[in-house]
Amino acid sequence: DGGITQSPKYLFRKEGQNVTLSCEQNLNHDAMYWYRQDPGQGLRLIYYSQIVNDFQKGDIAEGYSVSREKKESFPLTVTSAQKNPTAFYLCATLAGGPVHEQFFGPGTRLTVL
């Protein structure tokens, strides 16, 4: 069953702690993305990677870091430098071909206490 896995679905952390959100895909897509969503808002791009061992900052990268050591995996670390980390985090991939459809994972809801 092809798709994108994000775990865990809910995550709680204390203020000042770094936390890593996982994203795994078996769609064989080259490009992967991390978005953040705040209540009642659209999605904002944090980081993206178009190929293994390469990634670029999106619109709101401050306080976040990523790695792309394998095609299947694109973990996101929320560091203590992120001022307001409580949000819904979505991982996505991009299909090639004529549609350029983005596929999204189920999301991780992070709450920092």
Partner 1 sequence: DAKTTQPPSMDCAEGRAANLPCNHSTISGNEYVYWYRQIHSQGPQYIIHGLKNNETNEMASLIITEDRKSSTLILPHATLRDTAVYYCIVRGMDTGRRALTFGSGTRLQVQP
Q: To the nearest whole angstrom, how small is the minimum distance from the Cβ of residue 33 to partner 1?
A: 6
Annotate the chain with three-state secondary structure: CCCEEEECCEEEECCCCCEEEEEEECCCCCEEEEEEECCCCCEEEEEEEEECCEEEECCCCCCEEECCCECCECCEEECCCCCCCCEEEEEEEECCCCCCCEEECCCEEEEEC
Q: To the nearest whole angstrom, how small is the minimum distance from the Cβ of residue 5 to partner 1?
A: 11
Rule CB under 8 A: which of 89-108 touch partner 1? Answer: 90, 92, 94, 99-107
Per-residue contact string for residues 66-85; x = within reach of partner 1 by CB under 8 A: --------------------
Q: Which residues would be at the binding site for partner 1 (CB under 8 A)?
A: 4, 31, 33, 35, 40-45, 48, 50, 56, 58, 88, 90, 92, 94, 99-107, 109
